Every structure is written in structure tokens, then in C-alpha cells.
Amino acid sequence: MVYVKRIVLDVLKPHQPNALEFSQTIASVGADYRVHLIVLEVDENTETIQIEVTGNTIDFEAVQSVINDLGGSLHSIDEVEVQSEPDSD
Amino acid sequence: MTVLGQIKFLLDITRTRDIMRRYFVVNGFDGALTMLGLIIGFIVSESSDLSVIFSVCLGAAIALGMSGLSSAYISESAERQHALGKLEQAMISDLSESAYGDASRWVPLLIALVNGLAPLIISLLILLPIWLTIAGIALPVPPLYAAIMIALFLIFLLGVFLGSIAGVSWLRSGMQTLLIASLTVLLIYLFAGQ
């Protein structure tokens, strides 16, 4: 089984929710998610951010879905770290 | 997220919490002053039929509520749609399925409810002594004067609320709104009392 351990995403989002609320909501998707958010550029209505999510088994679809729910738009997946682990059964 | 948390979130992302507060105060004040004006008018004209007074005031309260509800919904819907369109242009994406889409549907309704319920509830509270007297419950104060006292108290509370928002003396702010109510009473006595 291949697990996603780390992803770095380039996202365009409205000013609200702010960076803190945005990263907290993403972190709440998984039990052990760690989110590192950097605001790269601020425009009149939007801001470009880089989000790094780390965890044992990152559910990318769920992360993308919560970004869309918050009004964000995923521009690119900039970095990925995956690991293959033997199945437990 | 709880319903209350969701409401708070939608108001935060659209930055409409202050608009809702403004609507509450403006229309609540409208309701209280309208009831005060009607009751003073009835006292000045020496009308004694409480059921007539109650029906007239209740009619005005319902009309104020409906007016607040519909006008705020129509104007806020247009404002939210405009804001959503502007944001969609900036994002170059469809936001109808996002929290912003939810906000454009629900925030106008929430603001309309506040705008409609504020004058209605405040008016009903002012009418309470009249209704109690009609229902056969004796009050220590004549019902119309009791209604005036409640109206003045609620107007004072609205002032206190405004004072707490502005971070100024609550007593001063409360006295300011009370002064406006007193001026209204004076004007009614001057013009309708002839």
C-alpha cells in the first residue's frame, strides 16, 4: 500500500477565511495532519498561498475538497512525498 | 461544526456581522419609536378602547416586521450576489458550491430575519401590558403608561448596546437614545395634542 506522507500545494484563496482559519480547517481533516501555510502574494480580493500538509496517511481528495469548500482554488501540486508500506493483514 | 458555528463562519467570511448589528439597532429603534408614537397618539386623543389600540399597534408591528424582512432580503440578496460575482471574477472559478456560495444564499436570509424580527419582538414587548390588561390581568400601572415605560426602557437598552459597541460610556449612550425618544414624545404632544 502506498501512503501520501507530505504534499505541498499552490492555492489561490479569498482573503476570508484568513490563513489561520484556513490552515486549521485543513488540519482538522485528518487526526494527525500538520499544516504549514505561507502567504506568497496578496492581491485586492485574493491571496496566493503555499500549503504543506504532513501526516501518516494524507487523504488528498479530502484536503482538496475542504480547500474548495473554503472558496480556494488548487493551482498545482508542487511537492509530494509518498511511502510504500506492507499491508498489515 | 454546529449551526451557530456555521452561521458565525458565514458572517465572518462575508464580513456582514456589523451589517446585521446595524440592521438590528436601526430597525429595533424604528419599532420602539413607532410603538411609542402610536401609544402617545392614543393617549393624546383620549382613546379608551384597549382592544382597538392593541389591534392598531399589532398591525403596525407586523407591518414593520414584514417590511424589515422583505426589504433586507431583497437588498442583501443583490449585494451578496454582486460580492460573489466579483470574487468569482478574481478567483476565475465558480464558487457556488463553496462556503461563499452558501453565504450568498443564507446570509441575506439571516440578515432579513434580524431586520424583521427586531422591530416585531420589540413592539410585542411594548404591547405586552396592553395585551395582559385585555386578557384580564390587573397591572399596578395603567397599561398605556406601562407600555410607554417599557418602550423607553428598551430604547435606553438599545443605546446601551450601541455604547458597548462603540466602547464609550453605556450610560451616556443610553441617555442619548432616551433623549431622542423624549424629543419624539414632545413633538407628538406639540403637534397631535392641539
Q: Assess whether pLDDT exceeds 90 at residue B125.
A: yes
* A51 beta partners: A9, A37
Q: Assess whether pLDDT exceeds 90 at residue B1.
A: no
Which residues have a Cβ under 8 Å from the Cβ of B73 and sit 6 or more positions away?
Answer: B108, B109, B111, B112
DSSP notation for B167-183 = TS-HHHHHHHHHHHHHH
A78 C-beta neighbours (distance < 10 Å), count? 12
Write the pLDDT tens digit of every residue in B55-66: 999 999 999 999
How many angstroms separate the CA atoms of A6 and B4, rounded? 34
Write the pLDDT tens digit of every residue in B86-95: 999 988 888 8
Residue B22: enclosing H or E segment and its boundaries? helix B17-44
CB contact under 8 A, B98 and A17: no
Asked if residue B115 lies in contact with residue B68, where contact means CB atoms within 8 angstroms, the answer is: yes
Inform me whether the C-beta atom of residue A66 falls under 8 Å from chain B C-beta atoms: no
CB contact under 8 A, B13 and A45: no
Contacting A residues, span 3-42, partner chain B, CB-CB under 8 Å: 12, 14, 16-17
The pLDDT confidence band at residue A88, using thresholds 50, 70 and 90, is low
Write the pLDDT tens digit of every residue in B136-177: 998 999 999 999 999 999 999 999 999 988 888 999 999 999
> Which whole number is the average pLDDT over B88-107?
90
How many angstroms separate the CA atoms of A14 and A42, rounded? 10
Residue A79: enclosing H or E segment and its boundaries? strand A73-84
* B153 beta partners: none
Task: Nearest chain A residue to B10 by CA: give it.
Answer: A17
How many angstroms separate the CA atoms of A84 and A82, rounded? 7
Mutate to test the interface with B, among A29, A47, A68 (most CBs of B within 10 A): A68
- Residue B93 has what pLDDT? 86
- Residue A71 has what pLDDT? 92
List the grid coordinates of B94.
Answer: 465558480
Q: Assess whether pLDDT exceeds 80 at residue B9.
A: yes
Q: Assess whether pLDDT exceeds 80 at residue B130.
A: yes
> Which whole number is the average pLDDT over B117-133?
96
> Which whole number is the average pLDDT over A58-79?
94
Whether the pTM exceeds 0.90: the reply is no
Residue found under cell 502574494: A41
Task: Nearest chain B residue to A44 by CA: give it.
Answer: B90
Q: Assess whether pLDDT exceeds 70 at residue B127.
A: yes
The per-residue pLDDT of chain B, averaged, comes to 92
Write the pLDDT tens digit of every residue in A9-21: 999 999 999 999 9
Give residue A81's region: left, alpha or beta (phi > 0; psi -120 to 50): beta
Inform me whether the C-beta atom of residue A70 falls under 8 Å from chain B C-beta atoms: yes
CB contact under 8 A, B93 and A45: no
- Residue B194 has what pLDDT? 67
- Residue A78 has what pLDDT? 94
Task: Nearest chain B residue to A18 by CA: give it.
Answer: B13
Q: Assess whether pLDDT exceeds 70 at residue A89.
A: no
- Domain A2-84 in this protein, CATH class: alpha beta
The per-residue pLDDT of chain A, averaged, comes to 93
Q: Assess whether pLDDT exceeds 80 at residue B47.
A: no
Q: Assess whether pLDDT exceeds 70 at residue A65.
A: yes
Backbone dihedral angles phi then psi of residue B33, each to the nearest 5 degrees: -70, -35
- Predicted complex: ipTM over 0.85: no
DSSP notation for A11-78 = EEEESSS-HHHHHHHHHTTSTT-EEEEEEEEE-SSEEEEEEEEE-SS--HHHHHHHHHHTT-EEEEEE
